[in-house]
Amino acid sequence: MARDTSRDRLARVGRTLGAYVALTKPRIIELLLVTTVPTMVLAARGLPSLTLVLATLVGGTAAAGSANTLNCVLDRDIDSVMNRTRRRPLVTGEISPRAGVIFGLVLGAAAVAWFALLVNVVSAVLALAAILLYVVGYTMLLKRRTPQNIVWGGVAGCMPVLIGWSAVTGSVAWAPVALFAVVFFWTPPHYWPLSMKFRRDYATAGVPMLPVVAGDVRVAVEMMGYTVAMVAASLALVPLAGMSWVYALAAGALGAWFGGHVVALWVRARRPGRAKLGEMRVFHHSITYLTLLFVAVAVDPFLPV
């Protein structure tokens, strides 16, 4: 009997820990970190210190986890009416709002202190700015008020490249600004396809994502505009960071590949009798695009060209 009680207790602890991890939205953090390490490699023009990389990744994970947790606390009313999010821990009651706030604030404070002590003050300030931009700028001010919420709210998701660069150099330069622009312009064509797929959820929750308040054709047209700007920003890195022709070719090819999928989405959106819009295909391809582009960023400093 005692053994069963111990097992039950361990199971409860495991479920609780899993719930707290879920609050941090690990899949989003994973995508953010994909941009951090290549930026550090570019800043160092080679392999940066492994200790510095690990310290930056730990701090970045804590900062993003803090922002995502506080976002879950503030959006729990929205999450409860959306099919995609109604199983989040704050909605199911696995974690109380008070516990969520404490967890989020502790993570944020720990992240800023970690950066200040083990990386540098510039990175600490940028990490704090990223948390505030996501929690206050996006979640509290923009998300429920404007169809451009994800555009300007996406600035927080661009901060890891600045943090990664500053972790190595102690400052910010034009090269990471170009990478910042890549992620900034990438965010709408990445997120709007997901909003298209779940537009009913967002409409029910009263969140005016662009696909909720505008037709598919307009959304696709805006996605094409942001994609062009994204590719231009990726190519601007060539003169700003002294990238090789290999990176330039990769950036151009990847941009053309992803741009082709966005154009295909626009073509399908103009056909009233279309069977499927294929928005989730564009969503998944956007992740592939960003990952491969930053792989090219990381590889380029090692090329003998």
Question: Is residue 239 located within the same domain as residue 210?
Answer: yes
**Residue 162's domain spans which residues?**
19-168
Query: What is the distance between the alpha carbons of residues 159 and 42, in angstroms, rounded to a whole number?
Result: 16
* DSSP conformation class of 302: G
Per-residue tokens: 135: 């929690």
pLDDT band for position 298 (50/70/90)? Answer: very high
Predicted local confidence at residue 32, as pLDDT: 77
Q: 104-143, pLDDT tens digit by residue? A: 999 999 999 999 999 999 999 999 999 999 999 999 999 9
Above 70 in pLDDT, residue 79?
Answer: yes
- How high is the pLDDT of residue 274? 64
pLDDT for 1: 45
Query: Is 39 in the same domain as 65?
Result: yes
Q: Is the separation of the CB atoms in 254 and 219 below 8 Å? A: no
Residue 25: left if φ>0, alpha if ψ -120 to 50, beta else—which one?
left
User: What is the three-class DSSP state of 172?
Assistant: coil
Is the same domain home to 23 and 159? yes
User: Do residue 162 and residue 177 come from a single domain?
Assistant: no
- Picking from 59, 69, 297, 65, the residue whose alpha carbon sits closest to that of residue 163 is 59
What is the mean predicted confidence (pLDDT) over 87-100? Answer: 93
Residue 7, pLDDT > 80, answer no
Among 133, 168, 203, the domain-final residue is 168
Write down which residue in 111, 144, 168 finishes a domain: 168
- Res 37 pLDDT > 90: yes
The enclosing domain of 106 has a CATH number of 1.10.357.140
- Whether 8 is in a domain gets the answer no
* Same domain flag for 106 and 53: yes
Mean pLDDT of 79-105: 92
- pLDDT averaged over the chain? 93
Would you say 73 and 101 are in contact if contact means Cβ atoms under 8 Å apart? yes
Q: What CATH number does residue 302 fall under?
A: 1.20.120.1780
Contact 254, 290 (CB under 8 A): no
7 within domain boundaries: no
Q: Tell me which of 138-152, 155-169, 272-286 is least confident.
A: 272-286
Q: Which helix (H) or strand (E) holds 24?
A: none
